[in-house]
């Protein structure tokens, strides 16, 4: 059934790039628990003429009504379509206007087209794996070369949204309004309760009362994670390794492309940074690189703002960033409790992406040893930093 839908949707999309006579090789991809909104496919478009073969990546939206009910807006990929058809064009125009060197520009994936029929949504992108881009192992902690490259891209991503807001504030604010996606907290309630329950079952006994007290207003804390800040950026929303692609260049350095643009929103840029740290790193990484990573983010953001001819002191100074980071940091534990059950689930216990998929499937039974290790590492750090007492 999915193959038929893909074949039908690709007919119009490929016609737009002058591919009319071709054969399709469609292969479904298992994400092993890295994705829950889509079924993923690699598609090879082999033309019958002398045109080059196209390597496509097709996402077909999960048909689960239960999963969609966690959002007030049922449509999937509307935000991602907005990014590739409008926002990315604006960002490229800003980079051109300010003559940003090619090596300092935001990396992006090629977009071919999409279909937004509810319950049959599909988006077609370049298959980056055909060009040797790789997905990071979500069950491994980030290392420094990868983290450094990922945060450099995040800084460019945020700086471009600042530049957009400065160059065309009215249009920027209209986009922020379009990006407002409200979570249906009534539908999310079971997952939230499960996340709290799992955390309290798996945290070290000597930390249980501290965590229990912290989680008393857990739902309110969840809402605060992406609350607007003093200077809104367009943020990714779920900036973690499974939503990035990477490859190693000839000189040994790392490149990263940000993908999965389904959760863009207007929020504090600190939210993306915290999400990356507390869903992607372990206690050992933070012990060695936590401060270095934060400094690297701001230095890259500052450099990106200057390349776009903005004054960092006026737009988003280090002092403002430090203050926001201090205010938002206590929510890092909220992110961990909320997201780690999904991020660390073992492939054999990951729910199937089908019409019965629901977030409440994540429970104590699906919690992995990695979850226990990561959660307790975050709790230990919060105690060490004086944020949990």
- Lowest average pLDDT, out of 170-174, 259-263, 351-355, goes to 351-355
- Distance of alpha carbon 236 from alpha carbon 242, whole angstroms: 13
Q: H/E/C letters for each residue in 80-136?
A: HHHHHHHHHHHHHHHHHHCCCCHHHCCCCCCEEEEECCCCCCEEEEECHHHHCCEEC
Strand 134-135 versus strand 122-126 pairing type: unpaired
> What pLDDT does residue 97 have?
98
Four-point Cα dihedral 249, 251, 252, 256, nearest 10: -30
> What pLDDT does residue 59 have?
93
User: What would the mean pLDDT of 273-278 be, rounded to a whole number?
Assistant: 98
> What pLDDT does residue 1 have?
61
> What pLDDT does residue 34 have?
59
User: What would the mean pLDDT of 267-276 be, rounded to a whole number?
Assistant: 96
- Distance of alpha carbon 198 from alpha carbon 341, whole angstroms: 8
DSSP H or E segment with residue 29: strand 22-29
- Distance of alpha carbon 269 from alpha carbon 117, whole angstroms: 32
Side-chain-side CA neighbours of residue 46 (13 Å): 5
DSSP H or E segment with residue 19: none
The arrangement of strands across the sheet holding 54-61 comes to 22-29, 38-47, 54-61, 122-126, 111-115
DSSP H or E segment with residue 67: helix 65-68
- Distance of alpha carbon 321 from alpha carbon 319, whole angstroms: 5
- Tokens 């009534």 correspond to 186
Higher-scoring residue by pLDDT: 39, 202: 202
Higher-scoring residue by pLDDT: 287, 227: 287
**Nearest residue to 362 (alpha-carbon basis) of 186, 139, 138, 195:** 195
Mean pLDDT (the chain) is 90
- Distance of alpha carbon 4 from alpha carbon 26, whole angstroms: 10
User: What would the mean pLDDT of 235-264 be, rounded to a whole number?
Assistant: 93
> What pLDDT does residue 116 have?
86
Query: What percent of the chain lies above the pLDDT cut of 90?
Result: 72
Side-chain-side CA neighbours of residue 368 (13 Å): 16
| pLDDT range class, residue 185, cuts 50, 70, 90 | low
DSSP H or E segment with residue 71: none
- Distance of alpha carbon 178 from alpha carbon 82, whole angstroms: 9
Inter-residue contact 161 to 94 (CB < 8 Å): no
User: What would the mean pLDDT of 21-40 be, rounded to a whole number?
Assistant: 82
Residues 6+ apart with CB under 8 A from 47: 19, 21, 22, 53, 54
Helix axes 318-328, 283-307, angle to 10 degrees: 150
- Distance of alpha carbon 347 from alpha carbon 343, whole angstroms: 11
Four-point Cα dihedral 40, 358, 179, 245, nearest 10: -40
Q: What is the pLDDT of residues 308-367, one digit of tens each?
A: 999 999 999 999 999 999 999 999 999 999 999 989 988 877 766 556 555 656 655 678
- Distance of alpha carbon 238 from alpha carbon 263, whole angstroms: 7
> What pLDDT does residue 145 have?
96
Q: What is the pLDDT of residues 365-378, one digit of tens each?
A: 678 999 999 999 99
Q: What is the pLDDT of residues 81-122, one digit of tens each?
A: 999 999 999 999 999 999 999 999 999 999 999 988 877 789
> What pLDDT does residue 183 have?
63
Query: 315-320 — which CB contacts under 8 Å span 24+ positions?
Result: 315/162, 315/166, 315/231, 316/162, 316/231, 316/269, 320/230, 320/231
| pLDDT range class, residue 76, cuts 50, 70, 90 | confident
- pTM of model > 0.85: yes
> What pLDDT does residue 361 have?
61
Four-point Cα dihedral 194, 120, 111, 71, nearest 10: -30
- Tokens 């420094």 correspond to 144
> What pLDDT does residue 66 have?
63
User: What would the mean pLDDT of 197-212 be, rounded to a whole number?
Assistant: 96
Residues 6+ apart with CB under 8 A from 319: none
């Amino acid at each position: 059934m999915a193959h038929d839908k893909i074949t039908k949707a690709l007919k119009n999309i490929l016609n737009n790039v002058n591919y009319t006579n071709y054969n399709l090789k469609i292969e479904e991809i298992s994400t092993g628990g890295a994705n829950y909104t889509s079924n993923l496919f690699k598609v090879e478009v082999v033309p019958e003429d002398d045109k080059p073969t196209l390597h496509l990546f097709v996402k077909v939206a999960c048909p689960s009504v239960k999963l969609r009910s966690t959002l007030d807006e049922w449509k999937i990929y509307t935000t991602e379509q907005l990014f590739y058809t409008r926002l990315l064009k604006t960002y490229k125009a800003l980079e051109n206007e300010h003559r940003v060197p090619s090596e300092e520009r935001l990396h992006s994936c090629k977009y071919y087209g999409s279909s937004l029929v509810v319950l049959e949504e599909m988006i077609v992108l370049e298959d980056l794996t055909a060009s040797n881009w790789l997905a990071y192992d979500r069950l491994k902690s980030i290392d420094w070369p990868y983290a450094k490259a990922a945060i450099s891209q995040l800084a460019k991503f945020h700086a471009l949204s600042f530049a957009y807001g400065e160059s065309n504030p009215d249009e920027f604010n209209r986009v922020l309004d379009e990006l407002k996606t409200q979570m249906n907290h009534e539908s999310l309630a079971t997952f939230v309760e499960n996340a709290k329950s799992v955390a309290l079952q798996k945290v070290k006994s000597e930390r249980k009362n501290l965590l229990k007290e912290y989680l008393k207003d857990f739902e309110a804390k969840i809402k605060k994670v992406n609350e607007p800040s003093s200077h809104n950026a367009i943020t990714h929303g779920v900036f973690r390794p499974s939503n990035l692609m990477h490859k190693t260049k000839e000189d040994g350095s790392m490149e990263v492309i940000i993908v999965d643009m389904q959760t863009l929103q207007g929020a504090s840029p600190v939210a993306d940074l915290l999400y990356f740290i507390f869903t992607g790193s372990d206690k050992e990484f933070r012990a060695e690189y936590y401060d270095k990573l934060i400094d690297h983010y701001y230095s890259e953001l500052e450099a990106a703002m200057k390349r776009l001819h903005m004054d960092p002191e006026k737009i988003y100074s280090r002092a403002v960033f430090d203050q926001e980071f201090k205010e938002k940091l206590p929510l890092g534990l909220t992110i961990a409790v909320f997201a780690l059950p999904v991020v660390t689930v073992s492939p054999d216990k990951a729910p199937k992406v089908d019409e019965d998929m629901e977030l409440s499937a994540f429970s104590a039974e699906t919690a992995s040893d990695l979850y226990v290790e990561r959660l307790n590492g975050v709790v230990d750090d919060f105690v060490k930093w004086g944020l949990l007492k």
